Amino acid sequence: MNPFSTEALLAALKAQLPGVTVELQRNEAPSAQHSWLIAAQDAVVVAQWLRDKEGFDFCSNVTGVDWPTYLEVVYHLYSIEKRIGPVILRMRTGDRDKSVHLPSLTHVWRAAELQEREIFDLYGVIFDGHADLRRILMWDGFEGHPMRRDYVEPDDYEYEPTAHDHVAERASKHTTGGAE
């Protein structure tokens, strides 16, 4: 990988696109991979600038994160032609149930297509502009978003011989003969 400074690139972005709201989020781990927090309305403009002007043609990973008051989507971008990276973009939703819309970056990087569908399926973030937003890993009639921290799985335990902790409590209601 060629040497690369994400702060310098952010400064260049702010110089060329002055109206855009982007802040640097520092990462305290030894990996030192700092990220950019973007406002949702500026995401597409920043993404297109990165792809067309700076050569970040490869979107490696799209992740969803569940924080206590909002949901977040993280993009890891690399440049194949210049051998630099990663540039990490973060977008946050307003809250966890009512305003969960974020712009989709699928038409900028096609790699985000299936991964954004997965975030919709498992977290419930709705991506505006995605061509085919439907559940991908769970079945079509499924209700709920499994990766959220407050998701309660249905307890349909048949038999758990070495149940521990909360599984033991819930399993004991199903097994005939009482608690394990």
Residues that bind another protein (CB under 8 A): 1, 27-31, 33, 57-61, 63, 65-66, 74, 76, 80, 83, 86, 88, 109-115, 135-139, 146-147, 149, 159, 161-162, 164
Burial of 88 from C-beta contacts in 10 A (0-12 / 13-18 / 19+): buried
DSSP 120-138: HHHH--EEET-TT---SSS
How many Å apart are CA 162 and CA 35, to the nearest integer?
43
Nearer Cβ to another protein (22/175) = 175
Query: CB of 73: closest distance to another protein in angstroms?
Result: 11
How many Å apart are CA 130 and CA 19, to the nearest integer?
25
Nearer Cβ to another protein (31/97) = 31
Q: How many CB atoms lie within 10 A of CB 71?
A: 24
Query: CB of 18: closest distance to another protein in angstroms?
Result: 28
